[in-house]
Amino acid sequence: MTHVYDDPAAFKDDVLVGFAAAYPTYVQRVPEASGFVRAGGPLEGKVSLVLGGGSGHYPSYSGTVGTGFADGAVLGDLFASPSAEQVYRVCRAAHGGAGLVMGFGNYAGDRLNFKVAADRLEAEGIDVRIVWVTDDIASASADEQAKRRGIAGTFTVYKVAGAAAEAGLDLDGVERVMAKANAATYSFGVAFDGCTMPGAGEPLFHVEPGQMDFGLGIHGEPGITSDAWMPAPALAARLVDTVLAERPADADGRAAVLVNGLGATKYEELFVLFAHVAPLLEKAGVTLVQPEVGELVTSLDMAGCSLSVTWLDDELEELWTAPADTPAYRRGTPVTSDRFTERREVTRETTQSAVAEASEESRRAAEVARRAVAALSATVEEHKDELGRLDAVAGDGDHGIGMSRGAKAATEAADTAAEAGAGVRSLLAAAGSAFGDKAGGTSGILWGLLLDGVGQQLGDEDAVTDEAAAHAVQASTTRLQEFSKASLGDKTMLDALFPFVDALVGAVDGGTPLAQAWRDAATTATEAAQATASLTPKIGRARPLAERSVGTPDPGAISLALIVTAIGDVLADGPSSPA
Amino acid sequence: MTHVYDDPAAFKDDVLVGFAAAYPTYVQRVPEASGFVRAGGPLEGKVSLVLGGGSGHYPSYSGTVGTGFADGAVLGDLFASPSAEQVYRVCRAAHGGAGLVMGFGNYAGDRLNFKVAADRLEAEGIDVRIVWVTDDIASASADEQAKRRGIAGTFTVYKVAGAAAEAGLDLDGVERVMAKANAATYSFGVAFDGCTMPGAGEPLFHVEPGQMDFGLGIHGEPGITSDAWMPAPALAARLVDTVLAERPADADGRAAVLVNGLGATKYEELFVLFAHVAPLLEKAGVTLVQPEVGELVTSLDMAGCSLSVTWLDDELEELWTAPADTPAYRRGTPVTSDRFTERREVTRETTQSAVAEASEESRRAAEVARRAVAALSATVEEHKDELGRLDAVAGDGDHGIGMSRGAKAATEAADTAAEAGAGVRSLLAAAGSAFGDKAGGTSGILWGLLLDGVGQQLGDEDAVTDEAAAHAVQASTTRLQEFSKASLGDKTMLDALFPFVDALVGAVDGGTPLAQAWRDAATTATEAAQATASLTPKIGRARPLAERSVGTPDPGAISLALIVTAIGDVLADGPSSPA
């Protein structure tokens, strides 16, 4: 279990501080961000590879920042995606002017946050490509390879992409080889026991003593079979057979092979396993190219290991065996890049968007938006405990706390933007980003997107009419649904948001003034939120918990209704009245 | 706990196979030996550094074989010293013609086995220096630094020595800087829980839940204080304060600093600790030179960590920061050695002594010795179970099994030597070496030494008179006592051996023929062995077990009496009778 920590809530931050202190010649912290770029800053003209995900998987991701590998790494809390804001900041700092490739394992939270950051970077004129890794055979069938999650094979895919960028491939080229490496990578793992979070008395999950769980995810996601303990030769055969069963027809036999330990399964054990894996692979006609045996993708002190095979062609072999020089992984003749020599300085400003020019009209609208955000925050604060109690029925009870953290940060960001003369688009972008960054969780990123989306529709130039405001909320809601993949009736905030938007747009289009239409629509939202009590959430694995929530309204829908009601009061004050 | 293994008794061998398969560009197995040398063989003209100790501490020792670090690594079973024979073989293979430096942590078994191997290598004309590491502050007071055991600071000391050899220092020079580095290295550690051996259901030892044991040894040796769990800043302060308390007066502040994890204490935790350790050291005026944070000296999946500080002068700093390129540790610009380019091939023959020329008389004596060894083996086999039962009273019950394994191997080695025309010295050297190698444990190395010592006295040239034989046994016994550090009355085999030797030499010197004197002395030995029942062994920590053995004779003394009795029968047959 995890024994060394101070404040468990600050564990990730302490790790960042210690890592930066240990490797100053390799990395530098990105100012005010949860991540690193190469020491000295990004290389001018080189495609930048930014890797990220939850903390707890060292040396993923920070341990591989360096020549021939990653340009930046962004870390979320333990096993939690970094926020879009953090991804954005690290990417800004890591960008060398030739475009960005983002790499992460296929998990919903990472996909959401990296996508939001990518959209924002694209809007600022940076070309961004996203490749998420899907190597885990156990997590979906061969027909649905794209749905597989990323485990230890992420290492090989990232390594190939980093080498491609170092070799001078352009953005299309790096994206292409990274996608090719991902399609050629197959992993299968086994777990013996779970890991313990800092401050927790018990592991996150357990494997039954004397059992091995095949295909168990690195955060406790269910496995596919549980078996009695078996000796190393049988374990090796099971791993090899499963991975080779998906050998592509066009693979010529060359392969990058990785036997990875998750944390508590030690080097000696990994060598014992490899002693049996290597001859089985060779017997099956596999040529092992620079195999790796070690702890390259961990999960705190989880007990378990995996076999990853990446089928190589000439191009992938050259990239896999290319030199790399990073804190945790060094191979070949370590070189500093000779292709790229100019570096960009990373300053506090690098990671922030400049405040865009705004019209007088847009600044007036921004003042309304600022007061709306402040009202949002005051309402959340007032109802924090109630929202927590609602969330405790079917969730972890942190909805109120998360919303409160996000709303406070959004208010501060909105105030700062207003002082800098921001228009309504820039103000809501800043508020939305801060919300998503500090609130955490799904509610955080969704509220952040909603605020940002309204701003994007309104812009920094145009005067904001009643129709424009109503339609901006509608467009942002539609975008939100696309991102969240939720449907009406899934017992989420959308079950209150959609009735609200329909009522709002209908009334405004019919000629009702915005303030009146908003207050009426807020009443509709409140009724719809209460009605979610009869729904059952579609949240997959947590079925028993989900069923417990029948009879209780959804906390996300309730907070939405409370917030739109509070914003209605702001609008009733009129755009030009004092705050 | 350890989950991946096949036959627990073959765990070390499986690790060796897997490690060799993973790193063929770095290492090669030494034929018929439990260890590695650099791939391609030793460098002609370079001082060779051979490291070793028990398995289970990866990357110690095999993981650091490579340019700028070790030339060879020899591994014993889990947490057990390698045998002298294994040390000898790996050293023979690693020797580049400019002498050998042996490095290991200060443990009794390692000191014994490396010393025996060193004596043998010296006898063959190879100049050998031994430096054992004594960095663990917790294991003895500052007045008795030489008695301290070796823990994670071994890594720094070995690294400095490896760099010195790579830089071309001669044998005196490498020994000098290694001893200087050892004297400048101070470590202090904390354990949270024990590790589990392959196949065992429970850890070797436990730390009470919620406790931290400061100074606990990496094999469960007792700590100095147990404390309630404390957060990372307090833990960092405790480690830093303890290590800095022994800061030498002449240290200028530069230091190699290592925060080491023992296996289950993960990178993230080590970085959290380092985040607090680094500023405390800096505040105390320490300049951290290329600090290392990671798992460099492990103990299977033991939970715990340590802080090591090596105070640097210009010479040590240059060696500490010199490049190294090994499987587990790569720093700086990895270079292949340019100073040394010629390699020596390692063949099966490299690791074996050539059979020395022998006189006809000595070969006749060798035939008697061969039959004596065979009788030894037959007797041990006959009484194996009885010896096991005696040992089970106060030990682990493996005395019979170990003696049986050793005696069989000795018999085979003696037969092979006799076929090759060996004289009595060479035959007993081969038999003794095989005995120590296969029997394991203290009995193994002592019996090996006893056989070898008799042979050394007799030589390969001279005819063996009765007087020469008796005095050879006496001289070998004296040497044995020096090695074992045991005293008469400690309840060991010496309590039967000394009365036997005194009776034998007295009778032969008084004119009694050897065969008769030996049989009489064997009777004395049997009585003395029985009399050990009234003694209490001096075996330190295992006091309660030791006291259980009062009333039971010592199995080592009993087996000695049985063996000398059986050899008496061989001598009665006369030197020239058929086997």
The answer to whether A264 contacts B265, with C-beta atoms less than 8 Å apart, is: no
Nearest to A19 by CA among A67, A55, A71, A69: A55
Measure A129 CA to nearest chain B CA, in Å: 29
The answer to whether B275 contacts A192, with C-beta atoms less than 8 Å apart, is: no
In chain B, ranges of CATH 1.25.40.340 domains: 355-572
CB-CB neighbors (< 8 A) of A333 in chain B? 333-334
Catalytic residue among B3, B57, B206, B219: B219
Q: What is the pLDDT of residue B575?
A: 53
Say yes or no: A338 contacts chain B, CB-CB below 8 A.
no
Whether residue B268 has pLDDT greater than 60: yes
Sign of CA dihedral B174, B177, B180, B185: negative
Nearest CA in chain A to B236: A4
| Weakest-pLDDT range from A487-491, B37-41, B254-258 | A487-491
For residue B208, give both structure tokens.
């009470």
The domain B175-322 having CATH identifier 3.30.1180.20: the answer here is: yes
The answer to whether B263 contacts A268, with C-beta atoms less than 8 Å apart, is: no
Using one digit for the tens of pLDDT, what is the confidence trace for A250-266?
999 999 999 999 999 99
The mean pLDDT value of chain A amounts to: 91
Q: Which of A14, A267, A300, A333 to substitute to test the interface with B, most B CBs within 10 Å?
A: A267
| Weakest-pLDDT range from A512-516, B290-294, B398-402 | B398-402
* Average pLDDT estimate for B74-99: 94
Q: What is the pLDDT of residue A64?
A: 98
Q: Which of A7, A230, A271, A301 to substitute to test the interface with B, most B CBs within 10 Å?
A: A271
Measure A304 CA to nearest chain B CA, in Å: 8
Of the partner residues B229, B266, B274, the one whose CB lies closest to the CB of residue A18: B274
CATH classification number, B355-572, choose in 1.25.40.340, 3.40.50.300, 3.40.640.10, 2.40.50.320: 1.25.40.340
Q: Which of A272, A299, A329, A335 to substitute to test the interface with B, most B CBs within 10 Å?
A: A272
Say yes or no: B56 contacts chain A, CB-CB below 8 A.
yes
The number of CA neighbours under 13 Å toward the Cβ of A125 is 2
The answer to whether A333 contacts B334, with C-beta atoms less than 8 Å apart, is: yes
Name the fold adopted by A184-323: Hypothetical Protein Tm841; Chain: A;domain 3 (3.30.1180)
CB-CB neighbors (< 8 A) of A79 in chain B? none
Using one digit for the tens of pLDDT, what is the confidence trace for B151-202?
999 999 999 999 999 999 999 999 999 999 999 999 999 999 999 889 888 8
CB-CB neighbors (< 8 A) of A21 in chain B? 274-275, 278, 291
Cα–Cα distance for residue pair B151/B297, rounded to 1 Å? 7
Q: What is the pLDDT of residue B336?
A: 59
In chain A, ranges of CATH 3.40.50.10440 domains: 1-133
Whether residue B385 has pLDDT greater than 80: yes
Cα–Cα distance for residue pair A453/A410, rounded to 1 Å? 14
- ipTM of the prediction: 0.88
Kindly indicate the confidence band of residue B540, based on its pLDDT and cuts at 50, 70 and 90.
Answer: very low
The answer to whether A268 contacts B55, with C-beta atoms less than 8 Å apart, is: yes
Using one digit for the tens of pLDDT, what is the confidence trace for A182-210?
999 999 999 999 998 898 888 888 898 89
Nearest CA in chain A to B257: A22
Q: What is the pLDDT of residue B325?
A: 93
User: How far, CA to CA in Å, does A514 sit from each of A504, A507, A571, A573, B384?
Assistant: 8, 8, 8, 12, 98
* Average pLDDT estimate for A383-397: 82
Architecture (CATH level 2) of domain A1-133: 3-Layer(aba) Sandwich (3.40)
Say yes or no: B58 contacts chain A, CB-CB below 8 A.
yes
The answer to whether B3 contacts A55, with C-beta atoms less than 8 Å apart, is: no
* Cα Rg of chain A (Å, integer): 25
Measure A296 CA to nearest chain B CA, in Å: 11
Q: How many residues does chain A have?
A: 579
Using one digit for the tens of pLDDT, what is the confidence trace for B57-70?
999 999 999 999 99
Of the partner residues A22, A291, A303, the one whose CB lies closest to the CB of residue B291: A22
Using one digit for the tens of pLDDT, what is the confidence trace for B552-579?
899 999 999 999 999 999 999 865 433 3
Q: Are B291 and B245 in contact (CB under 8 A)?
A: no
Contacts 24+ apart (CB under 8 A), B10-13: B11/A268, B11/A272, B11/B55, B11/B77, B11/B78, B11/B198, B12/B55, B12/B75, B12/B76, B12/B77, B12/B78
Q: What is the pLDDT of residue A324?
A: 94
Using one digit for the tens of pLDDT, what is the confidence trace for A232-245?
999 999 999 999 99
Whether residue A540 has pLDDT greater than 50: no
The answer to whether A231 contacts B265, with C-beta atoms less than 8 Å apart, is: no
The answer to whether A21 contacts B272, with C-beta atoms less than 8 Å apart, is: no
Q: What is the pLDDT of residue A543?
A: 42
Say yes or no: B264 contacts chain A, CB-CB below 8 A.
yes
With pLDDT > 70 as the criterion, what percentage of chain B qualifies? 95
Q: What is the pLDDT of residue B22?
A: 96
Interface of A with B in 3-32 (CB under 8 A): 3-7, 11, 14-19, 21-22
Whether residue A37 has pLDDT greater than 90: yes
Sign of CA dihedral A416, A419, A421, A424: positive
| Backbone φ and ψ of A135, nearest 5° | -95, -15
Of the partner residues A22, A233, A271, the one whose CB lies closest to the CB of residue B19: A271
Of the partner residues B269, B301, B332, the one whose CB lies closest to the CB of residue A264: B301
For residue B57, give both structure tokens.
């501490």
* Average pLDDT estimate for A94-98: 95
For residue B447, give both structure tokens.
């019996």
In chain B, ranges of CATH 3.30.1180.20 domains: 175-322
The residue type of A390 is L
Say yes or no: A270 contacts chain B, CB-CB below 8 A.
yes
CB-CB neighbors (< 8 A) of A210 in chain B? none
Say yes or no: A475 contacts chain B, CB-CB below 8 A.
no
Kindly indicate the confidence band of residue B542, based on its pLDDT and cuts at 50, 70 and 90.
Answer: very low
3-state secondary structure (DSSP) of residue A402:
helix
Q: Are B470 and B478 in contact (CB under 8 A)?
A: no
User: How far, CA to CA in Å, does A388 sit from each of A109, A382, A494?
Assistant: 22, 12, 19
Which residues of A are known catalytic residues? 219
Cα–Cα distance for residue pair B300/B322, rounded to 1 Å? 29
Q: Are B342 and B350 in contact (CB under 8 A)?
A: no
Say yes or no: B298 contacts chain A, CB-CB below 8 A.
yes
User: DSSP letters along B266-326, please?
Assistant: -HHHHHHHHHHHHHHHHHTT-EEEEEEEE-SS-BTBBEEEEEEEEE--HHHHHHHTS-EE-
Cα–Cα distance for residue pair B287/B244, rounded to 1 Å? 13
Of the partner residues A235, A268, A275, the one whose CB lies closest to the CB of residue B21: A275
Using one digit for the tens of pLDDT, what is the confidence trace for A435-466?
998 887 778 889 999 999 999 999 999 999 99
Cα–Cα distance for residue pair B134/B246, rounded to 1 Å? 14
Q: What is the pLDDT of residue B547?
A: 63
CB-CB neighbors (< 8 A) of B276 in chain A? 6, 14, 18
Of the partner residues A266, A274, A334, the one whose CB lies closest to the CB of residue B22: A274
Using one digit for the tens of pLDDT, what is the confidence trace for B193-235?
999 889 888 888 889 889 999 998 888 888 889 999 999 999 9
